[in-house]
Amino acid sequence: MNTAVQRFVGLLLVLAALLPAGAAVAFADPPVSVQVEDTAGVLDRNKLVPALEGIDFYEPTRVAIYTYNGRTEDNLNEEVLRIARSEHPEWISADGQKWADGLFIFALDPVGRQVGTYMGEDRKVSLEQRNDIQDAAKDLLQDAQWTDGTVAGVRRAAELINQPWYRSAAFLITAWVTAGTAALGAAAWIIVRAVTRSSSRKEIERGDQSYANVSMDLEVTELNAGTIPEASRYGGHVLEKHRTFLNRYNAASGLSNKVHALSGRELGRRKNLKLAREYADAASELDALDDVIADTNALLNKAGTWPTAWDRQLAPFRKDLAGLEQLLTKRHGQGDAATAAALRSFREQSLRDIEQWTAELAEEKISPEKALDRLYDARSRLAVLLENHAQTVIEGFAKNEREAQLMRKEMEAAQDGLNHKRRRSYEPSILGTVYPSYHFFSVATFNSGLNTGVSSVSSARGGGGSTTGYGSSGGSFSGSGSSSSF
């Protein structure tokens, strides 16, 4: 053991002696109650409530969730106080000036794109920590994952509310500084290795699940590929992908052997995390491709399962159509513009078209290839309409050409998949196999680019920040809480 590590271990022993006897069980109080007021109708209660009930706080805490559909210009703090005064007086202290003791409120406005956190005086945290709680939810909220975003926000709140001194960032920083630079280096090394090891194991688990699916269906995949009509334009493209399927499967097998041969210590190295992620990505893409091979065979040959295969081809398009209204009504979405009207008109026509294509396919009035052609044309048309609306959004938000260029760059990067933390996933459909991932400009891609573009421009302006007041109707109310946009 080198000197730095020895000093770090010594520091841990000293800290362990200083910790209160109850430290080991300090983080073990599930919510006293979970109250959900989902007036916006965006939460999955069956998923949300059990997830929240499984979160441990440092002290017994009542959790309240409130959602409503507001507007960009609304003051979410004022709205939460209004609903508390009118319908939930138990959320407010006896003197009417603060939030009730033992209470934490997580508020969400999915239309006005705001998130807020509020808490009793005995549960309050700093403004910086409230921002931290809200930020923990924003990545998910920006992707309209309302339930998961709410859970993430409450989980982060549980980590910060009434945090014991020996878990606080200030204490840890002081302890590390006191221990000296060598101990800091050792601590950082240990933490990085632990996080890397955990991430490697998760990637291997992800890869194993997909690899098992591919292995189990390997024979069926070969049978499906053997009956795909090669003369079909779509069938021919899918078969081109299949020709390398076994080679890629063998490569994934080799990666599987390598990652499973790694020791726990070796999993803590970044190069091996990269290897584990390569294995997981390779297995996941194979798992998606064997489903596409099965769907191509079923659809082009009009086998008994063709309706299910056709539904899977429609799924990405249907998802885009379903997400259009939320995109247009979001903050800075320019929902009143002519390009927004064009998108809404296209959505209504496309929903009718989908029913017509499916009926004609069932009645054999059109071939599977013709149905796929129509779907391709429609998705290409949507991409053009989204690009037109992107320009409208940029013109509406940017104050000058420099800001417009910055937003345009972020939108293009999102479409190309360049600003994602992970590479863009392979779309498990026939069109997704035939065309590259950036060919279709999806609603999810638009949202990602818009969020990143607005954030980049706001940062460049020096804007952003939290809203802490309760508006004109708040009076003398001064409960701890704030809200911010996402």
Say whether pLDDT at 38 is over 90: yes
Same domain, yes or no: 481 and 372: no
In the structure, what pLDDT confidence band is assigned to residue 462 with cuts at 50, 70 and 90? Answer: low
Residue 220 in domain: no
Same domain, yes or no: 312 and 176: no
**Which residue range is the domain that position 115 belongs to?**
3-181+472-485
Say whether pLDDT at 286 is over 60: yes
Same domain, yes or no: 400 and 435: yes
Same domain, yes or no: 147 and 59: yes
Residue 92 in domain: yes
Same domain, yes or no: 319 and 406: yes
Predicted local distance difference test score (pLDDT) of residue 422: 42
Same domain, yes or no: 443 and 476: no
Same domain, yes or no: 427 and 480: no
Residue 197 in domain: no
Cα distance between residue 44 and residue 28, in whole Å: 25
Say whether pLDDT at 22 is over 50: no
Same domain, yes or no: 364 and 387: yes
Residue 437 in domain: yes
Cα 435 to chain centroid, rounded: 25
Q: pLDDT tens across 291-322, in order?
A: 999 999 999 999 999 999 999 999 999 999 99
Residue 243 in domain: no
Provide the domain count of the chain. 2
Distances (CA, A) of 146 to 45, 246, 397: 11, 40, 25
- The more confidently predicted of residues 212 and 3 is 212
CA dihedral sign of residues 383, 388, 389, 390: positive
Contacts of 293 (CB under 8 A, 6+ apart): 221, 224, 225, 228, 238, 241, 242, 245
Q: Which of 80-94, 354-368, 390-404 has the lowest mean pLDDT?
A: 390-404
Cα distance between residue 371 and residue 111, in whole Å: 35
Same domain, yes or no: 479 and 412: no
Predicted local distance difference test score (pLDDT) of residue 399: 84
Residue 241 in domain: no
Nearest of 413, 421, 417, 403 to residue 332 by alpha carbon: 403
Same domain, yes or no: 457 and 477: no
- The more confidently predicted of residues 25 and 450 is 450
Residue 265 in domain: no
Q: pLDDT tens across 415-426, in order?
A: 776 444 444 567
Residue 90 in domain: yes
Say whether pLDDT at 206 is over 50: yes
CATH number at residue 81: 3.10.310.50
Same domain, yes or no: 395 and 476: no
Nearest of 71, 97, 104 to residue 331 by alpha carbon: 71
Same domain, yes or no: 377 and 477: no
